[in-house]
Copies of this chain bind each other. A is one copy, B any other.
Amino acid sequence: MAIVLTESVADKLLPFATLVSGALALGFRVDVFASYWGRGAGRTSPAPAGATVSPGHGKEGARRESALAAPKAPSWKAMLEMAKSIGELHIYACSQSMELLGLSKDELDPLVNEVTGVATFIDRTRYARVTYFI
């Protein structure tokens, strides 16, 4: 499974982490190219507090937001860490984005395996069975 990740809001990160966990549990190898936000999400500082739900959902958005803030709500970060411990999860940070945002490797989360260009990612995932852009 190959995933290009550009989102940084919880209502995208949770489906993302859920997909990754499910795929790893089934024995898939999962490769993630964190293209733009990726570097944001992969940074050691926590995500901005307000950015939990993408706009445009109307009243449904408020319901989501409170559900995601509830104590019983799963943490996408914890799900990813757990998933990485049970299967083959490779996370690449986009080198072009890092340069554009002036980020150094030290600012990346330990979950990130390496920094690569997009061609490397496409080359490594050209035989992926399942591909998603998030």
- State whether A28 touches B63 (Cβ < 8 A): no
- State whether A56 touches B9 (Cβ < 8 A): yes
Q: In whole Å, how far is A85's beta carbon from the nearest beta carbon of chain B?
A: 17
On chain A, the number of residues with a Cβ less than 8 Å from chain B's Cβ atoms is 66
Q: A15-B36, A129-B126 are in contact. Are A48 and B54 (CB under 8 A)?
A: no
- State whether A132 touches B4 (Cβ < 8 A): yes
Set B23, B56, B96: member contacting A122, Cβ < 8 A: B23
Q: In whole Å, how far is A71's beta carbon from the nearest beta carbon of chain B?
A: 12
Residues 61-74 of A, flagged 1 when their CB comes within 8 A of B and 0 if not, give 10110011010111
Which A residues are closer than 8 A to B by beta carbons? 1-4, 6, 8-9, 11-12, 14-15, 18-19, 21-23, 25-26, 28, 35-37, 40, 47-51, 53-61, 63-64, 67-68, 70, 72-74, 94, 96, 100-102, 117-119, 121-123, 125-134
User: Beyond A3-B133, A18-B96, A36-B64: 19 further Cβ-contacts under 8 Å?
Assistant: A2-B130, A4-B15, A6-B11, A8-B60, A11-B37, A22-B119, A40-B63, A48-B57, A48-B60, A51-B57, A51-B61, A54-B56, A55-B56, A64-B101, A73-B100, A125-B130, A126-B130, A127-B129, A133-B133
